[in-house]
């Protein structure tokens, strides 16, 4: 049933969000706490994302593989910072059938350790490098914080790329190149502008030299991490004993990267584009780009026949459609259902359209209506592109209004506490200072810009010590 969304986005973002993702049939709760079901409507958005990203990765030589779901505790603990970072949130298998296992097995929270154990067998010579491998799988983290559909769950659909290089420069380039792919995906497919940067010491990945991130701006002035890419240096090649003979026959430790993006990007999309009527999907990612809604009143059979013809023609043009041909609900119900599911364009077809050989078109973003002659039906393609572009530029404008440079310590604390703005300020970057900012404001540093830029002030906004760079601060999901 197309029940509407009965919470306003501006009043209670999280309740609104839960209703939207569940009632649109993207996801659902499951019989197990903290684990979601990804229903066909939501999963198809992920499939389209996978297709886009997979071809980007393959274009630079990355190949897919699959490594075990379970990781013996002894392997998981090999890199010390890494295990420290993950241990509290690992789910453990302790029984196989009726037998207690000798060693506990972790459900992969991420696969660095089990993959690099294999890499140490496979890599012998510089001819084996670069090794560029990705996997599409799920990871399990026993979140103790409240879970949120798509945004934070105990099992997460994602990809994890793990590459090995001869030089530090190659590794760093790879980490940055993949970050650009993630940015392109967010912008071109999801119509979400993101800011790319580096993570602070406290916020970076357990075991990384540098973590790169892309972050999106939400309507409540939170920021949300959409993907990360890590330069691991030789922090893993050493404990995992990955070595290669270079061209001069010297044994060397290689440099590594790992990088990942998850279905959380889709949760962020819902948060940014959705409105009080429900989902709003950018045409490039939408399972259905047009909803065809026949008005089944006068000349029912002929109207249905015409609707079929329109449907077929749109499919021929490569446009994804859904035909709402049920006769047990009203046209109004169908329009609302299409809006709740975020379908970019509604096409109404009744007696009038039949007689004038036209279609009546309304867009989801503005409900702007127009009549198009059947002979001009290919204009729908242009309209979809216009919608896609408008959604990105509009989201960019919204995001820019939410970010402010701040030099005053007092205002910095006050505005972060109250979610008034996302703040950009000069900062010392130390974990101690970050801990105190978090305790006082609830916010953390989200990113440090990739390109060096002029300091907003020479002193750290919070502790007053010498500032090292500018950084963005916000609360986050």
The contact set with a copy of itself (CB under 8 A) reads: 28, 30-32, 35-40, 43-44, 46-47, 63-72, 75, 87-98, 104-105, 107, 114, 117-118, 121-122, 127, 133, 137-138, 140, 142, 144, 155, 157, 326, 328
Token digits for 136?
């599409």
- H/E element holding 202? none
Question: Which among 86, 202, 67 is positioned nearest to 142, based on CA atoms?
Answer: 86
Q: How far is the CB of 255 from a copy of itself (least distance, A)?
A: 20
Judged by beta carbon, residue 61 or residue 301, the one nearer a copy of itself is 61
Positions of E strands within 184-247: 194-198, 210-217, 223-233, 244-245
Q: How far is the CB of 458 from a copy of itself (least distance, A)?
A: 43
Q: How far is the CB of 438 from a copy of itself (least distance, A)?
A: 22
Q: How far is the CB of 143 from a copy of itself (least distance, A)?
A: 9
Q: 211-227: buried (b, 16+ CB within 10 Å) or exposed (e) per residue?
A: bbbbbbbbbebbbbbbb
Q: Please, what is the angle between helix 264-273 and helix 40-59, to 10°?
A: 110
Judged by beta carbon, residue 75 or residue 280, the one nearer a copy of itself is 75
Question: Which among 46, 450, 15, 448 is positioned nearest to 269, based on CA atoms?
Answer: 46
Is residue 32 helix, strand or coil?
coil
Judged by beta carbon, residue 87 or residue 180, the one nearer a copy of itself is 87
Question: Which among 475, 306, 282, 298 is positioned nearest to 393, based on CA atoms?
Answer: 282
Q: CA–CA separation, 301 vs 289, rounded Å? A: 25
Judged by beta carbon, residue 133 or residue 456, the one nearer a copy of itself is 133
Q: How far is the CB of 203 from a copy of itself (least distance, A)?
A: 21
Using only C-alpha atoms, the chain has a radius of gyration, in whole angstroms, of 25
Judged by beta carbon, residue 21 or residue 387, the one nearer a copy of itself is 21
Token digits for 293?
């809604």
Q: How far is the CB of 115 from a copy of itself (least distance, A)?
A: 8
Q: How far is the CB of 149 from a copy of itself (least distance, A)?
A: 13
Answer for the pair 158, 263: CB distance below 8 angstroms, yes or no: yes
Who contacts 450 (Cβ-Cβ below 8 Å, separation ≥6)? 176, 196, 197, 198, 212
Judged by beta carbon, residue 28 or residue 357, the one nearer a copy of itself is 28
Q: CA–CA separation, 233 vs 380, rounded Å? A: 49
Q: CA–CA separation, 396 vs 323, rounded Å? A: 33
Q: How far is the CB of 65 from a copy of itself (least distance, A)?
A: 5
Q: How far is the CB of 434 from a copy of itself (least distance, A)?
A: 24
* End-to-end CA, the chain: 30
Judged by beta carbon, residue 139 or residue 461, the one nearer a copy of itself is 139
Q: How far is the CB of 72 from a copy of itself (least distance, A)?
A: 6
Q: CA–CA separation, 268 vs 68, rounded Å? A: 29
Judged by beta carbon, residue 93 or residue 373, the one nearer a copy of itself is 93
Q: How far is the CB of 396 from a copy of itself (least distance, A)?
A: 31
Can you list the alpha helix ranges (DSSP code H) found in 288-378?
Answer: 300-316, 331-340, 351-356
Q: CA–CA separation, 446 vs 460, rounded Å? A: 16
Q: CA–CA separation, 17 vs 409, rounded Å? A: 33
**CB-CB neighbours of 383 under 10 Å:** 19
Q: How far is the CB of 325 from a copy of itself (least distance, A)?
A: 12
Token digits for 296?
């089944």
Judged by beta carbon, residue 90 or residue 303, the one nearer a copy of itself is 90
Parallel, antiparallel, or unpaired: how do β-strands 27-29 and 36-38 relate? antiparallel
């Amino acid at each position: 049933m197309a029940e509407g969304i009965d919470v306003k986005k501006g009043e209670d973002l999280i309740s609104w969000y839960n209703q939207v993702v569940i009632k649109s049939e993207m996801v659902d709760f499951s019989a197990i706490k903290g684990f979601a079901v990804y229903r066909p409507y939501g999963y198809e958005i992920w499939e389209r994302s996978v297709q886009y990203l997979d071809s980007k990765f393959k274009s630079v030589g990355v190949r897919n593989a699959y490594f075990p779901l379970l990781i013996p505790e002894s392997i998981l603990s090999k890199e010390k910072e890494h295990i420290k970072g993950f241990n509290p949130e690992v789910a453990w298998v302790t029984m196989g059938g009726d037998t207690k296992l000798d060693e506990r097995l972790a459900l992969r929270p991420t696969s660095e350790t089990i993959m690099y154990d294999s890499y140490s067998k496979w890599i012998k010579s510089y001819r084996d490098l670069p090794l560029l491998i990705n996997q599409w799988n799920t990871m399990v983290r026993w979140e103790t914080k409240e879970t949120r559909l798509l945004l934070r769950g105990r099992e997460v659909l994602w990809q994890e790329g793990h590459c090995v290089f001869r030089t530090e420069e190659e590794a760093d380039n790879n980490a940055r190149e993949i970050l650009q792919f993630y940015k392109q995906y967010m912008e071109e497919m999801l119509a979400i502008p993101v800011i790319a940067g580096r993570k602070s010491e406290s916020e970076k990945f357990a075991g990384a030299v540098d973590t790169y991130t892309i972050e999106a701006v939400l309507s409540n002035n939170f920021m949300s991490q959409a993907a990360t890419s890590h330069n691991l240096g030789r922090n893993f090649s050493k404990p995992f004993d990955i070595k290669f003979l270079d061209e001069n026959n010297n044994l060397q430790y290689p440099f590594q990267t790992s990088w990942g993006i998850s279905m959380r990007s889709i949760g962020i999309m819902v948060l940014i584009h959705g409105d009080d009527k429900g989902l709003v999907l950018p045409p490039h990612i939408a399972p259905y780009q047009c909803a065809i809604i026949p008005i089944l009143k006068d000349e029912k059979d002929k109207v249905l026949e015409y609707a079929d013809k329109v449907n077929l023609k749109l499919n021929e043009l490569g446009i994804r459609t859904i035909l709402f041909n049920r006769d047990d609900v009203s046209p109004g119900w169908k329009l609302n259902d299409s809006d709740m599911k975020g379908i970019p364009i509604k096409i109404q077809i009744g007696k009038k359209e039949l007689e004038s050989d036209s279609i009546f078109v309304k867009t989801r973003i503005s409900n702007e209506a127009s009549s198009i002659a059947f002979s001009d039906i290919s204009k729908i393609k242009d309209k979809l592109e216009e919608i896609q572009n408008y959604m990105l530029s509009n989201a960019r404008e919204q995001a820019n209004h939410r970010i402010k440079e701040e030099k005053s310590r007092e205002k910095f604390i006050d505005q972060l506490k109250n979610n008034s703005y996302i703040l950009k300020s000069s900062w010392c970057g130390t974990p101690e200072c970050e801990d105190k900012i978090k305790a006082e404001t609830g916010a953390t540093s989200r990113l440090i810009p990739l390109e060096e830029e002029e300091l907003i002030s020479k002193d750290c906004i919070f502790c007053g010590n010498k500032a090292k760079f500018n950084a963005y601060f916000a609360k986050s999901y």
